[in-house]
Amino acid sequence: MSETQYTEDNIRSLDWKEHIRLRPGMYIGKLGDGAAADDGVYILVKEVIDNCIDEFVMGNGKRIDVKVKDGKVCVRDYGRGIPLGKVVEVVSKMNTGGKYDSKAFKKSVGLNGVGTKAVNALSSYFMVYSVRDGEKKQAVFQRGELTEDLEITKTDEGNGTYVEFTPDEIIFKKYTYKTPYLDKMMWNYCYLNRGLSIYYNGEKFQSKDGLKDLLENNMDGDPLYPIIHLEGEDIEVAFTHGKTYGEDYYSFVNGQHTTQGGTHQSAFRESVAKVIRDFYNKNYEASDIRQSIVAAIAVKVVEPVFESQTKTKLGSQEIEPGGKSMRAFVNDFLKENLDNYLHRNTDTAETLEKKIKQSERERKELAGIRKIAKERSKKANLHNKKLRDCRTHLTDLKDEKREETTLFITEGDSASGSITKSRDVSTQAVFSLRGKPLNCYGLTKKVVYENEEFNLIQAALDIEEEMDNLRYNRIVIATDADVDGMHIRMLLLTFFLQFFPDLVKRNHVYVLQTPLFRVRNKKKTIYCYSDDERRSAMDELGKNPEITRFKGLGEISPDEFKHFIGEDIRLEPVILSKESSIDSILSYFMGKNTPERQEFIIDNLRVEKDLAESSTKGNESADSEDLNIAS
């Protein structure tokens, strides 16, 4: 065996754009295709808008225009504009920016001078121009390479910066931007920056009452008592209790949505329980106090430390270097302001205590059932094959492999067998249902422990005690594209929305898209997910291609299935519409059978009427887009 040579020729230095393109995860987290809210294409948008927000925070420009169409993103602010002589450097030279001067950007979103450089390097087309006092400087790049460096010209445009880019499809394969995710991003910017107006694709986004507006617009149903809204220097808090299970948090640092929480969110969870205990002078369990809480917290931190470049989890232990600890800062604020609020609002205080006592009763009633259910799930896991786990057992949120873990929930031996044989055993697990799950609409959490399959799903996910223990980043419902498959999807979604709504709200639940057709000739095979794709494939392959209509997952061989759950997996996220509450959704879909619901189901089944030309018969199949609770 020849020995590998190690010489000077093996040593290579990458320039800035090469390194970003080679290791994009270091700069924008995971790539993805737009199916998840934290996929890279959304991080690119965020990085550009963050710079506009920093201008607004500094008192420059109250409007931002955002347009996203056909994969292209355009962002215009009306701040001071990048200094004209530095336009090219700011977007193409690492560690270059205006945020290193702590006086100018004391509590900025981004501090490391990387953001727009990453957007530039990962875009097939990137254009930037800056306007300052009647003069304009423009530059154009392709994949980070400067292609046009235009001279400074005169202009009538107002001051500010414009960025236009198209994510590179070599990096972001088959990506799409989903409107609900971008809507949420724009709203969050406005909730945290009152007085700011964002015009996204022509629609105006603006908030008057900050985090109070956030909760009012995102709560499922009516609050049990009026939202408690408290503000102080460098901190804003809003919370109430709802009627759903679990705890629901929205946390922010310097305007950044920390979707994985961090020290500020942990400090709030701990402090709100402590202050409420002290107010009532009773040693209530923290879990009873926080059951069904819906809360938002925003803090401003000097030189924040995040646990990744994408800034989804705060790691700062102090509100500023050498200053008060985050825990003490949040606790002191709530100790004074929440305590005063509850003393002044006795009706709210009474309602809150009733809710705590109700949660306490429910917990004690479930204690015995939970103990029996845990023993049953342990025995069941030893003796049945419902869960075919992956080799990576993860509970540590910092583990780099956690983002890759997936649990497929499917029904039937043939379908689960195909997925099991074709999956990546290191990160993909399979849970096999036996027939249709129970319709749990209107039932209490007692059913989660008494129903064997629900109990085992909960145990497999490890979400009984804490949502942060979730063992799989993605929960994928994999059912046939027919009426029965649609029904199973709705039953599973009812289970998650009824008892674990945070799984959906945190974008962990998806529906697997599998091809409806296979079109092939001797030279090429094309898998098609719609009639339009089938017709395009037939045109591409020419005369008399062989066409197969897949009627169910079990008909797809493991060799073929590996293509659909691997690198090219197509997932449709389950997204809750802003306009609909969970209770109204479940009441409509899973309540008493009504003519309206039957009509909806029939109308939203795609009927393949024109399969005659392909020499196959048409069958009804459910359109995946219509099966998701999406706006």
d(CA 409, CA 403): 18
**Among 15-19, 151-155, 341-345, 376-380, the least confident range:** 376-380
**Among 94-108, 162-176, 191-205, the least confident range:** 94-108
In this structure, what are the phi and psi dihedrals at residue 625, rounded to the nearest 5 degrees? -60, -35
How many domains are there within the chain? 3
Judge whether residue 287 has pLDDT over 50: yes
56 and 176 within one domain: yes
Judge whether residue 32 has pLDDT over 90: no
Residue 302 lies in a domain: yes
220 and 154 within one domain: no
d(CA 416, CA 607): 26
Q: For a pLDDT cut of 70, what percent of the chain falls above it?
A: 82
pLDDT in tens, 449-481: 888 888 888 888 888 777 778 889 899 999 887
Average pLDDT, the chain: 81
Edge to edge, the sheet with strand 256-257 lists 228-232, 235-241, 293-299, 248-253, 256-257
Residue 498 lies in a domain: yes
Range picked from 54-68, 483-497, 561-575 for highest mean pLDDT? 54-68
- Find how far residue 300's CA is from the centre of its chain: 23
Domain boundary among 179, 205, 231: 205
67 and 83 within one domain: yes
Average pLDDT over residues 178-185: 91
Q: Pick from 231, 264, 253: which is nearest to 336 by CA?
A: 231
pLDDT in tens, 572-601: 888 876 655 666 666 655 655 555 555 554
pLDDT score for 112: 42
Judge whether residue 341 has pLDDT over 90: yes
Domain boundary among 331, 362, 393: 362
405 and 318 within one domain: no
82 and 32 within one domain: yes
pLDDT score for 611: 28
Average pLDDT over residues 530-559: 86
Strand 517-520 vs strand 235-241: parallel, antiparallel, or unpaired?
Answer: unpaired
58 and 31 within one domain: yes
Residue 132 lies in a domain: yes
pLDDT band at 623 (very low <50, low <70, confident <90, very high): very low
Residue 333 lies in a domain: yes
Q: How many CB atoms lie within 10 A of CB 14?
A: 11
413 and 348 within one domain: no
- How far lies 525's CA from each of 419, 442, 547, in Å? 20, 47, 10
Q: Pick from 554, 537, 552: which is nearest to 614 by CA?
A: 537
Domain boundary among 182, 205, 228: 205
d(CA 149, CA 230): 49
Q: How many CB atoms lie within 10 A of CB 424?
A: 15
pLDDT in tens, 242-281: 988 888 899 998 888 888 888 899 999 999 999 999 999 9
Q: Pick from 230, 222, 339, 326: which is nearest to 280 by CA?
A: 339
Q: Pick from 622, 600, 618, 619: which is nearest to 610 by CA?
A: 618
Note the residue count of the chain: 631
pLDDT score for 383: 46
Domain containing 159 equals 16-205
**Per the structure block, which two tokens stand in for 175?**
């990506």
Cβ(48)–Cβ(28) below 8 Å:
no
pLDDT band at 379 (very low <50, low <70, confident <90, very high): low
Q: For residue 400, with 0-12 CB atoms within 10 Å meaning exposed, 13-18 middle and 19 or more buried, which class applies?
A: exposed
Residue 539 lies in a domain: no
Residue 4 lies in a domain: no
pLDDT: is 310 or 264 the higher one?
Answer: 264
Judge whether residue 64 has pLDDT over 90: yes
CATH number of the domain enclosing 261: 3.30.230.10
d(CA 108, CA 55): 10
Average pLDDT over residues 148-171: 93
412 and 397 within one domain: yes
Strand 570-573 vs strand 509-513: parallel, antiparallel, or unpaired?
Answer: antiparallel
CATH number of the domain enclosing 586: 3.40.50.670
Q: For a pLDDT cut of 90, what percent of the chain falls above it?
A: 36
181 and 99 within one domain: yes
d(CA 469, CA 600): 37
Judge whether residue 604 has pLDDT over 70: no
Residue 594 lies in a domain: yes
339 and 394 within one domain: no
Residue 402 lies in a domain: yes
DSSP state of 437: P
- Find how far residue 119's CA is from the centre of its chain: 20
617 and 560 within one domain: yes
CATH number of the domain enclosing 79: 3.30.565.10
pLDDT score for 297: 95
